[in-house]
Structure 1
Amino acid sequence: HLGSNYFTGKIPETFASLTSLKEFRISDNNFTGQIPDFIFRNWTNLEEIYMEGSGLSGPIPSINATLLNLTYIIISDLNGAETNFTQPLIDASLPKLDRLMLRSCNLIGEIPASFGTFTSIKILDLSFNRLSGKIRDELSNLDFEYLFLNGNNFNGSVPQWILETREKVDLSYNNFTNTGVSDCRQNSVNLFSSIARVNNTGIVPCLTSQITCPSEPLHFVHINCGGRKITVNGITYEADFGQAGTSTFYRSITNWAFSSTGTFLSDDRPDDVLDLESRQLSSNGGNELYTDARVSPSSLTYYAFCLANATYNVSLHFAEIQFTNGETYSSLGRRMFDIYIQGEREKQDFNIVVAAGGAGLSRVERFNANVTDGTLEIHFRWAGKGTTSLPERSIYGPLISGISIFNPVFKPGYKPPSKSGSGPLPKKVDRISTAAMAGIVAGATFATFLIVGIFWWNCCYKLDDEISDVLFGDEFQNGMELRKFSLVQIAKMTNNFKGEKLGEGGFGVVYKGYLRDLDTYVAVKRISKASKQGIKEYASEVKIISRSRHKNLVKLIGQCHEKGELILVYEFMANGSLDSHLFKGKTLLTWEVRFKIVQDLASALFYLHEEGDHCVLHRDIKASNIMLDSSFNAKLGDFGLARLVDHAKASQTTHLAGTMGYLAPECVSSGKASKESDVYSFGVVALEIACGRRSIEPKYEESQASLVAWVWSAYGSQRLPDVADPELCMNFDAKQMECLLMVGLWCVHPDQHLRPSIRQTIQVFNFEAPLPKLPGTR
């Protein structure tokens, strides 16, 4: 038994001589190379083989020898070459074979008719492969209890013998042309998404005859996975506490469903219990959302439908409630699984305990998901990694406590501005008065238009040409993917610039707008005409953001430069800027939200500094330029002062720009910005988040006016915990608070060469590296 270790390398050839071996278990390791042929050739006494998530590669060697005692063949998640299943994989007598599980093993071809002779098999799992063709009638000879053929490419009609069986069968996610029924389930057969969808769009066929979407599409889904209906922080989470089984499809009474697949192999319970309740969390007054969870042995999919097409915020709530903390036997387990959103793997080998910082602690993983056909799919899958029998048998597989899906631009009761405009109807005017006034007005208007028109033509069109020269040269056009809006379209979005103002400053005004064709709110930034510096900032912002794609950068949707106007259209950020919460009392940000904001900002800055073709120096990182969406995910915005530079020159470039209080001291003295100066600004923001104070506060005495100097002084006198934001009332993770303050001080080190890279800060935030050692004084 070598399972759940960190073994690497190939299986030694000397193992071929272990002819008396009865059990071979190497699951959850990091081996390399192919499965050795000698396993099924030399080990004639073999009874059980477990290779789930071992790291080994295919193909699976053929079994040609008679293995009289072999009962379990359990192999999953192979890398490398395919195994052709049409050529008999098993060409020998295996009279005691009880469980054959070849899940996610790159199997191709059809199931041969000869497979029907293995009548001793009780569990047959060939899920998540690329098997194709029709399911042969010869398989009806199998005396199985569980049959998992989900996640393949089987076609034709579902055989009648499967529809009539009372055993557990899962045929979800296949390409059948006809299932023979109009539902997603028949007896104990799971048929969810078993029919091929045209272009893989729209509601799955098995649901189309069962539901009728409302005329007004839906904009949110909240599910208390494994629990009853609850309300948390004003949000009502629907109940999801029904018993699931090995091949389950369940549809709620609203607009979501789930499909659960697999069976726990290590216990003798007749039915797997797939919803859990943590008495420990309940008794300790824990958040109700995390006291229950749904767990699955192999694959769990939540499916939302009848949604409005939009970009959604997806929040997945986790808490490990089957393990404990400390150094007890119950703390040794390790759960790992993959997370897919809309078919794309977002997290591999996700470990709740590691992500949350311990068992029983909550963790929210946030994602953005584009819905284009009214449906959204969230899939959790176990890929053979992690322990399976600690602290007791069958503790493994995906576990989820709650799901929140929300369209951030949705506002109940909102009606977009009408095409005919808005405002009161004009009053009736006396015909004589109108006629008399017409001549006067016409003459004055003509003279005014003549003068203004000459000035406008000379200034505005000249300005448009100047902008075009900056923006639309050959070098800039390469890679630009932005919508070009007309001024008329912008006026409609903003009710002719009379709508709600989101912000105002020296740059101009930001309005809340409504983009009809996307059915979404937007932020419309109308840049001031006060100086030509506006042209440079506008060009810089368009140039840089159009090349940048990252979840923690504010998305630029389009732009308009017409008739002297400079306008940018961004995604709408429902919770405004960070400074409005920290310093203006909009809301009190919890510690969990604050620490996540810093991590989001670090992720954005790492992308700008390290991951693009060029290094992007933002040069104006500050709390007012950090925007928060409806789920308080942080996104860095305002790239008006940003510059693209070569990576090799990123530490010695560009002229002075930025905001006092966030500027690195070397910027002030030398007039130059660099990656290190961006890191300094990041450090100031980190300290602001931890302390709840502005970088410069004139109301305090001189020794405390500078946040950086004040925090460093507290650190030098071993009073660092005293600087934590008093508004938090000590409701924070002390270890995370210390981490944030120390990283903040590291980033604002007066010697730019002793500051960390943004990569190093991320490692410390993730507790993958130790806290820095800093001098007691600056």
Structure 2
Amino acid sequence: MYVPIFILLVLLSSLCQSDDQLTHTKPLSPKDTLISAGGDFALGFFSPTSSSNKLYIGIWYNNVPERERTVVWIANRDSPVTTPATSVKLAVTNDSELVLSDSQGHIFWMATSSTSGGAGAFAVLLNSGNFVLRSPNGTDVWQSFDHPTDTVLPTMRSMIRYRSQPATGLFAWKSPDDPSTGDISSGMDPASSNVQVFIWNGTLPYYRSSFFNDVPASGGTYQANNTSVTYQWMMVDTGDEIYYTFTVLAGSPYMHFSLHHTGKMRLLVWENSTSSWVLISEEPSVGCDLYASCGPFGYCDLTKAMPTCQCPDHFELVDSLNFSRGCQRKEELKCGTESYFMTMPNMKIPDKFLHIRNRTFDQCAAECARNCTCMAYAYATLSTASTTGDASRCLVWTQDLIDMEKASVFLENLYIRLGESPDQKKRNFQKILLSAIACLLLLTIGALCWACKIRGKWHKKKIQTRMMLEYLSSTDEAGGKNIEFPFITFENIVTATDNFSDCNILGKGGFGKVYKGMLEGTKEVAIKRLSKSSGQGAEEFRNEVILIAKLQHKNLVKLLGCCVHEDEKLLVYEYLPNKSLDYFLFGLLCVQDSPSFRPLMSVVVSMLENKMTTLPTPSQPVYFALKDPYQPGKAVGNKELSIYDMSVTVPEGR
């Protein structure tokens, strides 16, 4: 029979009336209820559901039907009473403390205050919904408005900061049937000294309100059927404390803000005609209204019928299929170049800003312009100066801009840094165009000069070639045809021989020196240079050219060209890397071990005359040393000699 009696006591608690005060001699039991003087609010024990065996001390609207009971404050939300209901009570102790305990002395909740209430203190439920512990002299030493749960009532001071200590915010219920502290909370950003209200999901930001510029911060009027409510938000900065509150006109229907367990901050008003709560507004209201849902540099455009994520001008989506990745610049910023700022009106300013105090608008703009890492700035002139006497508010951003929104209710102008201005781009384009024209003119002049030079060289070469042909022209005795010779310029020969370097000398004879050269950078040639001391003149040079040009044989060196330049006369032959003909003849005739391997001279001459015959490769002798074993001036016979312990076979004559 214990459980039914317990539930019955809970259900009947609302029917048991009491006055609005609680004293040391008159505690509050589960069957009692405190009613505010105006009858708007009630305080007592309740259970979230009829089947629950957990009791809580709470405050709710007294004139709202039981089925719509709305609890606005809970004392022991994380310490419910589970002992028999008859043994628990809320009382003012002998030490003037407000304590919820049972008959065994177990304390479930206690109102703590830095100021003692003194003997004779009492608790009273005000018609505003505020439960106050008051000293006999009328001083309030503790009040429930300073310790909210999930609801903000009119005239409640929602503390933002008190004596440099951040105040506790709102915490939503864990679920509709569980009033314990949930994961959703609301309050000021503890990392910022500025006035921004956040909704948190655990430790992560879920929603961020607009920046509070001034007082009043916001407000409005709700009107439907016969119900009309005018409300207004106010922010107060006294120096020691900063708080905001909202007020309604006297006689207005019930209204309150509530942090729902789904993460939405709701503004609700009671409508008597329908006996129900009507939702006036809630934040966040749309999907892109969530914190940073549009990613870096993206903003939620609430001016459209269907709010969506957008990119500012001169920005583009990083991923067209995933708006949460944000936007990126079409033109990267470059330090050291002149930038300009694009104005975006009606914006909720981004998060993660730096507040620079005591600046004019021009100083704020200059502060951002001269800092290459500054992405944007915003400025506001407040009608009421803060406790520091600063009526300005300069905000700058040095990181990616996140959590931006655009709506007509926002009055902020955001100035975003871009690359070069259109005028600057036009000037730069003109500079580039002029530079390009100048370069084109220079290239044209250079090309003309080069063409003239090439034409002059070609003309000079043509004249030299004609002179060379006239100089070397001859008539073939057999056919009477003119013999033409390739002409090579002296400059090319100088380049090929590295200016006739001694390192390139292959040999020298009566005609002059022979140089190895690289003609046109790829073809190896042998160049014979007529020595001025050789005694040979133009006639001998001409005869040699004509003779070699007529003799075309694969076993003879080929004449590639010739050159006559002032006193210089040169012949250009193909280069033979396998040494000269005498080397092969010497190998064939002189160093064979067996006389039978040595061909007759008549055979060698026949080989040279016959184009179809290839010179045989000499057989390798037993040993051949490139040394001269003979002493100058001494006769040599067919005999073996030994020099330096080396045996040399003297070739035997044939």
Q: TM-score range by the shorter chain?
A: under 0.3
Higher percent of residues as strand: 2
Bigger share in helix: 1
Give the TM-score of the pair, scaled to structure 1: 0.16
Q: Which has the larger radius of gyration?
A: 2
